[in-house]
């Protein structure tokens, strides 16, 4: 029989997809939308307030480059915990993490320099340039580089913590990861200063006559020693996403991953985590605002580098804002979905986003396929969308066409399990490189359970021998097939995990009604909380009856949503001069 099911957290799959979808949206805004008006004070004065607000919100989301790292770390820790629980040795686990991280790092270098949207291949639809002109960008410390290094570091860290069955000590390990998180953040400035002593001005200095900043090697001139030095300095302080401080984000993800791996995760962790992350956001906003008002942080530099932490003097405070908001959002959705038994319906409603998450690296690498709709748009309308940016209304139509292109490409590609994508390449290479473990005969039920938990595509053939005993033959899958991209088993037929099953939700004590009221209190400042509150309040009327909690939740959430819509409409008709 063919095992296709795998155990999945619908929220984690959704958030991984949402992270890469938001990245694609923001990159499209940068590549397609003409925002030159924002550099002209006269045009800014005439601009619609809503456009300015959306632009500011986009700058905030632009800083969420660590969000994908957070979600990836959660999933990676859940995977490591499961592998250890199934009997994988610590040595095997660490080796798998290190090799996987190295492969990912190699592809990260290739993506940024050659095959990605900023690399040689990604530029070909617009200009033909020598390959050598792009190779320096391999040393651009992007999110994918950070993920690769964190996979390695987290693998080593978890390996040490897992000695003597230490992986079972969930509370101890979460505390240790918390301490490590603080140590990484506290030591960041000193690490940056130390690197700048090794290479003066690292990473942004550009001495006269040098073609690039000192973070990048000079192709054809830098010595082997310089390449090696820059390779190891890159993760420490390279822009825009060095592991100091972003290893802290990975460690926070590890804490959440360990929490979700427990047999009975406590809802108190979610509530406390939301409170602490909310405080981090408030403190971070206060610190960032104070530094801007007092002139310690140039506002122009800040607005142009919300995504580039090493560029900011207020990096610590802004890092608190970004990381706190990401952790808060993650815990909020876990509370609303997995802690209410809603994993299966939520997974069905979010297949579109979860598809993005399944091939996130592929989407990141091949962003340049937007040249197809941009070329067609240019030919059909006569408006140059290939070499020029377009205005607001036209850009909306163009971006809709680009997202439609992605939807069609992914829908067709999934029919062959995304063969040829970046995840497929890494998975196949890892399977060929990692040492094969000789398997002993096992009870068929144990084999089936182990295979089911991993979502394997191995085929088990059951036959009876002369003694009427069942024998199991494992049919080896071809080298080019990988269970990592078992589309049906991950997107459609997965076993979506609920932390609290639907029948165990405590409706007797009005849990949903109280939750809806709590969320409705956030509606004035967080519209998505109002939407969640309204949905839960309406459902709780059926499951828990009308009561004071869901009655007030309905009032407050509807008020919050109407208020948001009213403000949105009002700002749409207001120009800069009307402030």
Q: Are 79 and 262 in contact (CB under 8 A)?
A: no
Token pair for residue 173?
A: 């390990």
Give the residues across from 460 on adjacent strands.
Answer: 474
Indicate if the pLDDT at residue 342 is higher than 50: yes
Count CB-CB contacts under 10 A for residue 388.
10
Model pLDDT, residue 578: 43
Contacts with 66 (C-beta within 8 Å, 6 or more apart), sequence order = 143, 146, 241, 246, 249, 322, 323, 326
Q: Considering only 16-30, 71-85, 328-342, 426-440, which range has the smallest mean pLDDT? A: 426-440
User: Would you kindly state where each structural domain of the chain is located, as residue ranges?
Assistant: 508-578
- In the chain, the percentage of residues whose pLDDT exceeds 70 is 89
Q: Alpha-carbon distance 367 to 355, whole Å?
A: 15
- Counted residue by residue, the chain has a size of 579
Contacts with 238 (C-beta within 8 Å, 6 or more apart), sequence order = 139, 140, 141, 145, 203, 215, 310
Half-sphere exposure of 233 (CA within 13 A, CB side): 22
Contacts with 147 (C-beta within 8 Å, 6 or more apart), sequence order = 68, 69, 72, 104, 108
- What are the DSSP E strand ranges found in 182-314? none
Model pLDDT, residue 468: 57
Count CB-CB contacts under 10 A for residue 468.
6
Indicate if the pLDDT at residue 51 is higher than 70: yes
Measured CA distances, 19 to 71, 76, 363, 364 (Å): 8, 16, 11, 11
Q: Considering only 294-298, 550-554, 563-567, which range has the smallest mean pLDDT? A: 563-567
Model pLDDT, residue 270: 96
Q: Are 30 and 363 in contact (CB under 8 A)?
A: no
Q: Are 167 and 81 in contact (CB under 8 A)?
A: yes
| Segment 80-131, tens digit of pLDDT | 999 999 999 999 999 999 999 999 999 999 999 999 999 999 999 999 999 9
Alpha helices, DSSP H, located in 455-501: 487
pLDDT category of residue 65 using cuts at 50, 70 and 90: confident
Is-cis flag, bond preceding 506, omega within 30?
no
Q: Are 507 and 18 in contact (CB under 8 A)?
A: no
Q: Alpha-carbon distance 485 to 469, whole Å?
A: 34
Model pLDDT, residue 447: 45
Contacts with 519 (C-beta within 8 Å, 6 or more apart), sequence order = 336, 529, 530, 532, 533, 536, 553, 557
Taking the whole predicted model, whether its pTM rises above 0.85 is answered as yes
- What are the DSSP E strand ranges found in 456-550? 459-464, 470-475, 495-496
Q: Considering only 174-183, 306-315, 563-572, which range has the smallest mean pLDDT? A: 563-572
| Segment 437-451, tens digit of pLDDT | 544 444 444 444 444
Q: What is the 3-state secondary structure (H, E, C) of 314-371?
A: CHHHHHHHHHHHHHHHHHHHHHHCHHHCCHHHHHHHCHHHHHHHHCHHHHHHCHHHHH
Model pLDDT, residue 435: 73
Q: Alpha-carbon distance 476 to 182, whole Å?
A: 46
Model pLDDT, residue 63: 84
Model pLDDT, residue 78: 96
Indicate if the pLDDT at residue 478 is higher than 80: no
Burial environment of residue 475 by CB neighbours within 10 A (0 to 12, 13 to 18, 19 or more): exposed
Q: Are 527 and 543 in contact (CB under 8 A)?
A: no
Q: Alpha-carbon distance 476 to 472, whole Å?
A: 13
Sign of CA dihedral 301, 305, 311, 313: positive
Model pLDDT, residue 444: 44
| Segment 504-521, tens digit of pLDDT | 999 999 999 999 999 999
Q: Are 246 and 148 in contact (CB under 8 A)?
A: no
- Which residue reads 């399990």 in tokens? 417
Contacts with 535 (C-beta within 8 Å, 6 or more apart), sequence order = none
Q: Mean pLDDT for the chain? A: 90
Indicate if the pLDDT at residue 54 is higher than 90: no
- In the chain, the percentage of residues whose pLDDT exceeds 90 is 76
Q: Alpha-carbon distance 43 to 129, whole Å?
A: 36
Token pair for residue 270?
A: 């979610």
Q: Alpha-carbon distance 285 to 280, whole Å?
A: 8
Indicate if the pLDDT at residue 4 is higher than 80: no
Phi/psi of residue 33, each to 5°? Answer: -80, 135
| Segment 535-552, tens digit of pLDDT | 999 999 999 999 999 999
Helix (H/G/I), strand (E/B), else coil: 118: coil
Model pLDDT, residue 2: 43
Count CB-CB contacts under 10 A for residue 130.
8
């Amino acid at each position: 029989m063919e095992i296709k099911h795998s155990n999945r957290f619908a929220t984690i799959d959704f958030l991984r997809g949402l992270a890469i979808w938001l990245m694609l949206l923001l990159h499209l805004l940068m590549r397609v939308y003409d925002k030159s008006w924002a550099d002209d004070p006269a045009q800014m004065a005439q601009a619609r307030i809503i456009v300015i607000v959306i632009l500011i919100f986009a700058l905030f989301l632009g800083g969420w480059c660590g969000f994908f790292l957070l979600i990836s770390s959660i999933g990676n820790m859940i995977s490591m915990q499961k592998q250890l629980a199934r009997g994988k040795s610590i040595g095997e686990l660490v080796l798998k993490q290190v090799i996987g991280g190295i492969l990912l790092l190699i592809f990260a270098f290739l993506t940024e320099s050659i095959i990605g949207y900023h690399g040689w291949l990604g530029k070909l639809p617009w200009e033909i340039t020598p390959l050598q002109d792009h190779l320096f960008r391999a040393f651009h410390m992007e999110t994918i580089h950070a993920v690769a290094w964190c996979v390695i570091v987290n693998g080593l860290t978890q390996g040490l913590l897992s000695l003597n069955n230490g992986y079972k000590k969930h509370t101890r390990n979460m505390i240790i990861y918390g301490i490590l998180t603080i140590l990484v953040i506290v030591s960041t400035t000193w690490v940056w200063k130390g690197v700048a002593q090794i290479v003066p001005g690292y990473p942004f200095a550009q001495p006269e006559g040098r073609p690039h900043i000192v973070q990048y090697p000079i192709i054809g001139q830098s010595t082997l020693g310089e390449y090696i030095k820059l390779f190891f300095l890159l993760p420490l302080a390279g822009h825009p996403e060095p592991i100091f401080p972003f290893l802290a984000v990975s460690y926070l993800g590890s804490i959440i991953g360990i929490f979700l791996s427990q047999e009975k995760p406590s809802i108190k962790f979610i509530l406390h985590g939301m409170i602490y992350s909310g405080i981090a956001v408030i403190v971070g906003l206060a610190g960032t605002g104070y530094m801007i008002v007092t002139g310690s942080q140039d506002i122009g530099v800040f607005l142009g580098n919300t995504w580039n932490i090493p560029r900011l003097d207020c990096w610590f405070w802004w890092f608190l804002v970004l990381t706190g908001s990401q952790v808060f959002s993650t815990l909020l959705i876990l509370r609303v979905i997995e802690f209410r038994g809603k994993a299966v319906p939520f997974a069905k409603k979010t297949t579109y986003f979860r598809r993005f998450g399944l091939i996130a690296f592929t989407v990141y690498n091949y962003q340049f396929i937007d040249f197809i709709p941009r070329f067609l748009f240019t030919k059909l309308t006569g408006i140059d969308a290939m070499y020029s940016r377009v205005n607001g209304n036209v850009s909306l139509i163009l971006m809709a066409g680009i997202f439609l292109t992605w939807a069609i490409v992914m829908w067709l590609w999934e029919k062959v399990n995304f063969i040829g994508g970046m995840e497929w390449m890494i998975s196949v290479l890892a399977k060929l490189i990692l040492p094969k473990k000789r398997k002993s005969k096992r009870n068929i039920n144990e084999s089936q359970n182990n295979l089911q938990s991993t979502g394997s595509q191995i085929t088990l053939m059951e036959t009876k021998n002369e003694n009427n005993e069942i024998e199991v033959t494992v049919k080896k899958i071809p080298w080019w097939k990988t269970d990592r991209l078992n589309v049906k088993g991950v997107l459609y037929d997965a076993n979506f995990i609920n932390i609290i099953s639907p029948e165990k939700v405590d409706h007797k004590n009005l849990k949903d009604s109280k939750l809806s009221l709590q969320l409705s209190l956030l509606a004035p400042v967080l519209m998505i909380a109002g939407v969640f509150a309204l949905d839960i309040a309406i459902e709780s009327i059926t499951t828990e009856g009308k009561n004071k909690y869901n009655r007030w939740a309905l009032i407050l959430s509807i008020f919050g949503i109407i208020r948001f819509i009213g403000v949105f409409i009002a700002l749409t008709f207001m120009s800069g001069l009307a402030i």
